[in-house]
Amino acid sequence: MSLIHNERLKLRANALDRASTACLAVGFLGPVVAFMYGVGGGGTPRLILAVGSSIWLSAAVALHLLSWRSLGGLR
């Protein structure tokens, strides 16, 4: 039973880590790169961009740390 338990935990950790990568790419890197190159909704204030990017970055870090924590339950 512990092999099944370990594989399920690794699958959960991988899913959480992929979600953190998606948050980083879509919510943080995408808007920052678009701002740097002047692409997209040019009227977005810098404060909104900074706050939104920091929220997405925080979500990515939280999901990544949660995936690490879930691996602590391996048997």
For 37-69, write each residue's pLDDT tens digit.
888 766 778 888 899 999 999 999 999 999 999
**pLDDT of 22 strictly over 90:** yes
Mean pLDDT of 4-27: 95
31 within 8 A of 10, measured Cβ to Cβ: no
CA gap 75, 70 in Å, rounded: 12
Q: What would the two tokens of residue 27 be?
A: 């919510």
Percent of the chain with pLDDT over 70: 96
23 within 8 A of 60, measured Cβ to Cβ: yes
The structure's pTM equals 0.85
Nearest to 63 by CA among 26, 29, 14: 14
**pLDDT of 7 strictly over 80:** yes
Amino acid 1: pLDDT: 67
CA within 13 Å, CB half, 9: 15
